[in-house]
Amino acid sequence: MEFVKEFAIFLQESSAIKFGNFKLSSGKDSAYYVDLRLVPSFPHQFRKMVKYLQNAISESIGLESFDCIASVPTSGLVIASALAIETVKPLVYIRQKPKEYGTSSLIEGKIKKGTKVLLVDDVGTTGQSIIKAVKALKEAKMIVTDAFVIINRLEGARELLATEGVRLHEITDVIKISNMLYNEKLLDDQTFDRIKKQMSHI
């Protein structure tokens, strides 16, 4: 839990999480914005995050329970690449749309039927991009039962992935981060109330 608290403070100090008024790619309004693409610019924190992710995977499902790591570009791919190096596991990634040249493949990397794949992304929101990746992997006859994200925004990703028989795990979520920042006096009452209100409408 100590890492999660330190990580939450780091996210705010580095502006990887911002509070205010934001329009999301889904078109929704949000009281906060998460951008984990900033984290690799801070190598010590990035390495801590990846090692914590590795330990969480090891404790919850076991590193021997999968043969390969898969990710959704772009921000999730940076995390998955570092994780693949740490765990010495093969890495593949799923494109948002097939290449318009060469093999026209949706999955980049060496794929083999029956391979057990762990899916990794940076943030879980509605789960739409992760579910596309799950379906692409299943079409390639690969096996996916678990996905890991660093932050769960708690906006339906877990429920959506469950429809495909995939469990979603996270290092932390928006409620835990905002609670920690509020307790550390790094989040004011008004912003904290807005986040709680936003989460209650989901």
Please give the sequence-ordered ranges of beta strands (E in DSSP) within 24-67, or none if there are none.
29-34
Q: For residue range 119-153, list pLDDT tens digits in order.
A: 999 999 999 999 999 999 999 999 999 999 999 99
Nearest alpha carbon to residue 34 among 78, 4, 75, 80: 75
Measured in whole angstroms, how far is the alpha carbon of residue 7 from the centre of its chain?
15
Q: For residue range 81-127, list pLDDT tens digits in order.
A: 999 999 999 999 998 776 666 556 789 999 899 999 999 999 999 99
Task: Select the more confidently predicted residue: 100 or 165.
Answer: 165
Q: For the whole model, what pTM was predicted?
A: 0.93
Say what percent of the chain tops pLDDT 70: 95
Q: Is the pLDDT of residue 45 over 60?
A: yes
pLDDT at position 202 is 63
* Domain spans of the chain, in order of start: 2-200
- Whole-number Å distance between alpha carbons of 36 and 45: 11
Structure tokens belonging to residue 182: 């509020």
Q: Is the pLDDT of residue 33 over 60?
A: yes
Per CATH, domain 2-200 is 2.40.50.460: no
Q: Which of 10-14, 46-50, 194-198 has the lowest mean pLDDT?
A: 194-198
